[in-house]
Structure 1
Amino acid sequence: MAEAIVSTLLEQITTITCEGALEEMRLLKGVKKDLRKLKFNLTSIKALLKDAEQKQISDETVQLWLDRLQEESLDMEDALDEWRTVLLYRPTDGAENASFLQRKVCLFLRYFSFRRIYRYHGIARNIKEINERLDGIAKDRVRDEVKKEIIGHLLCGTSEEGESCQTISIVGLGGIGKTALAQLIYNDEEVKQHFTTRIWTYVSNIFYESEVAKTIIAELEGLDEVRALQMESVPLNALLKRICKSIEGKKYLLVLDDVWTENDEDFGGLNVTFKHGAAGSRILVTTRKDTVSRVMGSSHTIHLETLNQDLCWSILKKIALRERDQKTCEDLTPVGLRIAEKCKGLPLVAKTLGGHLQFKANRKEWEDVFNSELWRMDVIHKDVFVPLLLSYYDLPSPVKQCFKYCASLSKDTGNFTCSLIARWKAQGYLGFNDGDDSLWELKGFEYLKCLEARSFFEIEDFDPFYGQYAKCRMHDLVHDFALFLTKGEFLEEVISKEKLRGLYISAYKGGVISDGALCNLFNKARRLRELKMRKYLGSTIPEEIGKLLHLRYLNFQSNLHLKRLPKALCRLHNLQFLHLFQCLNLERLPDEMGNLVNLMVLDTTACSNLTCYPKGVSRLTRLTQLVGLIVRVDRNDPEEFSIGDLANLRQLVVLSMKIMGNTINVEESKKVKLQNLQEVKILVNGAIAADKDTILESLNMSSVPRCCFDTNFNMFGRFSTPRNEYQYCGF
Structure 2
Amino acid sequence: MSWTLQNWLQNKLKEKLKWKKFFVVLDDLRNENYHDGSILRATFEAGAPRSTIVITTRNEGVSSMTVKRCKGSPLAAKVLDGFLLSKMNRHEWEDVLKSKIWDLPQMESEIYAALMLSYHHLPSHLKRCFAYCSILPKDYLFEEKRLVLLWMAEGDICFKMEDRVWDNNGRKPSTKARYLSYLGGYLDGIQKFEVFNDLTCSRTFLPFMLSFLGRCCLTSNVPLKLLPKLQRLRVLSFSGYRMYELPESIGDLKYLRFLDLSWTTIRSLPDSVATLYNLQTLILECCYYIKKLPSTFGNLVNLRHLNIRGANALEGMPPQMGKLTCLQSLSNIVVGKGSYSRVIKELGPLLHLRETLCISGLENVINREDVRDARLIEKHNLYRLSLEWNGNLDESQDRTSEFDVLNILQPHKGLKKLTVKHYGCAKFPTWLKVPSFSNMVRLEIESCAKCTSLPLV
Q: Is TM-score (shorter-chain normalized) higher than 0.5?
A: yes
Specify the code of the residue in structure 1 equivalent to 2:379. Answer: N
After the TM superposition, which residues 285-684 of structure 1 pair with which residues of structure 2 at under 5 Å, given as runs? 323-324=54-55, 326=57, 329-330=58-59, 333-344=60-71, 346-375=73-102, 377=104, 379=106, 381=108, 383-409=110-136, 415-428=142-155, 489=164, 491-493=166-168, 494=180, 496=196, 497-507=199-209, 511-560=216-265, 562-632=266-336, 637=339, 642-653=343-354, 654-659=356-361, 664-674=366-376, 675-677=378-380, 678=382, 679-684=384-389
Alpha-carbon distance in structure 1 between the residues aligned to 2:294 and 2:387: 24
Summarize the Cα distance change of 1:353–1:650 in structure 2 as closer, same or farther, 3 Å threshold. closer
Residues 682 and 709, structure 1, Cα contact 8 Å, conserved in 2? yes
Shift of 1:344: 4.8
Summarize the Cα distance change of 1:424–1:662 in structure 2 as closer, same or farther, 3 Å threshold. closer
Alpha-carbon distance in structure 1 between the residues aligned to 2:326 and 2:140: 31
2:228 partner SS? helix
Summarize the Cα distance change of 1:641–1:515 in structure 2 as closer, same or farther, 3 Å threshold. farther
Shift of 1:539: 1.8
Q: How many residues align?
A: 337
The answer for the alignment partner of 2:419 in structure 1 is: 708
Specify the code of the residue in structure 2 equivalent to 1:360. Answer: K
Give CA deviations for 1:15-63 in whole Å, capped at 9, x if unaligned. Answer: xxxxxxxxxxxxxxxxxxxxxxxxxxxxxxxxxxxxxxxxxxxxxxxxx
Summarize the Cα distance change of 1:498–1:640 in structure 2 as closer, same or farther, 3 Å threshold. farther
Alpha-carbon distance in structure 2 between the residues aligned to 1:425 and 1:539: 28
* Structure 1 counterpart of 2:405, from 677, 687, 695: 695
Alpha-carbon distance in structure 1 between the residues aligned to 2:388 and 2:270: 28
Summarize the Cα distance change of 1:370–1:632 in structure 2 as closer, same or farther, 3 Å threshold. closer
Alpha-carbon distance in structure 2 between the residues aligned to 1:625 and 1:695: 23
Alpha-carbon distance in structure 1 between the residues aligned to 2:385 and 2:325: 18
Shift of 1:593: 0.7
Q: What TM-score, normalized to structure 1?
A: 0.40
Summarize the Cα distance change of 1:587–1:614 in structure 2 as closer, same or farther, 3 Å threshold. same
2:289 partner SS? coil
Alpha-carbon distance in structure 2 between the residues aligned to 1:335 and 1:646: 56
Give CA deviations for 1:68-97 in whole Å, capped at 9, x if unaligned. Answer: xxxxxxxxxxxxxxxxxxxxxxxxxxxxxx
Summarize the Cα distance change of 1:417–1:692 in structure 2 as closer, same or farther, 3 Å threshold. farther
Give CA deviations for 1:391-432 in whole Å, capped at 9, x if unaligned. Answer: 1222344433333334445666665443333333223379xx
Specify the code of the residue in structure 2 equivalent to 1:401. Answer: R
Alpha-carbon distance in structure 2 between the residues aligned to 1:416 and 1:624: 18
1:606 partner SS? coil
Shift of 1:578: 1.0
For structure 1, the residue ranges without an aligned partner over 5 or more in a row are 1-125, 134-321, 431-482, 713-731
2:314 partner SS? coil
Residues 680 and 704, structure 1, Cα contact 8 Å, conserved in 2? no
What percentage of residue pairs aligned between the two structures are identical?
A: 28
Alpha-carbon distance in structure 1 between the residues aligned to 2:89 and 2:350: 51
Summarize the Cα distance change of 1:499–1:131 in structure 2 as closer, same or farther, 3 Å threshold. farther
Shift of 1:339: 4.7
Alpha-carbon distance in structure 2 between the residues aligned to 1:556 and 1:623: 19
After the TM superposition, which residues 97-108 of structure 1 pair with which residues of structure 2 at under 5 Å, given as runs? none
Give CA deviations for 1:432-461 in whole Å, capped at 9, x if unaligned. Answer: xxxxxxxxxxxxxxxxxxxxxxxxxxxxxx
Shift of 1:625: 2.2
After the TM superposition, which residues 209-288 of structure 1 pair with which residues of structure 2 at under 5 Å, given as runs? none
Alpha-carbon distance in structure 2 between the residues aligned to 1:350 and 1:669: 54
Residues 584 and 607, structure 1, Cα contact 8 Å, conserved in 2? yes
Q: What TM-score, normalized to structure 2?
A: 0.62
Residues 613 and 640, structure 1, Cα contact 8 Å, conserved in 2? no
Shift of 1:533: 1.6
Residues 401 and 429, structure 1, Cα contact 8 Å, conserved in 2? no
Alpha-carbon distance in structure 1 between the residues aligned to 2:203 and 2:346: 35
Shift of 1:647: 2.3
Residues 363 and 389, structure 2, Cα contact 8 Å, conserved in 1? no
Per residue, is there more helix in 1 or in 2? Answer: 1
Give CA deviations for 1:641-676 in whole Å, capped at 9, x if unaligned. Answer: 523332232333343122265553123333222412
Summarize the Cα distance change of 1:544–1:370 in structure 2 as closer, same or farther, 3 Å threshold. same
Alpha-carbon distance in structure 2 between the residues aligned to 1:411 and 1:335: 36
2:241 partner SS? coil
Specify the code of the residue in structure 1 equivalent to 2:353. Answer: L
For CA contacts below 8 A with separation 6 or more, give which structure has more relative contact order: 1
The answer for the alignment partner of 1:463 in structure 2 is: none
Alpha-carbon distance in structure 2 between the residues aligned to 1:380 and 1:325: 30
Residues 584 and 606, structure 1, Cα contact 8 Å, conserved in 2? yes
Shift of 1:563: 0.7
Alpha-carbon distance in structure 1 between the residues aligned to 2:402 and 2:132: 44
Shift of 1:621: 1.7
Alpha-carbon distance in structure 2 between the residues aligned to 1:365 and 1:339: 13
Residues 504 and 531, structure 1, Cα contact 8 Å, conserved in 2? yes
Shift of 1:581: 1.3
Residues 582 and 606, structure 1, Cα contact 8 Å, conserved in 2? yes
Alpha-carbon distance in structure 1 between the residues aligned to 2:289 and 2:236: 20
For structure 2, the residue ranges without an aligned partner over 5 or more in a row are 1-40, 169-179, 181-192, 424-457
Alpha-carbon distance in structure 2 between the residues aligned to 1:643 and 1:669: 6
Aligned-pair Cα RMSD in Å: 3.9
Residues 613 and 641, structure 1, Cα contact 8 Å, conserved in 2? no
1:629 partner SS? strand
Summarize the Cα distance change of 1:378–1:591 in structure 2 as closer, same or farther, 3 Å threshold. same
Shift of 1:571: 1.7
Specify the code of the residue in structure 2 equivalent to 1:697. Answer: N
1:512 partner SS? strand
Residues 606 and 628, structure 1, Cα contact 8 Å, conserved in 2? no
2:250 partner SS? helix
Alpha-carbon distance in structure 2 between the residues aligned to 1:370 and 1:668: 63
Summarize the Cα distance change of 1:676–1:663 in structure 2 as closer, same or farther, 3 Å threshold. closer
Alpha-carbon distance in structure 2 between the residues aligned to 1:700 and 1:518: 45
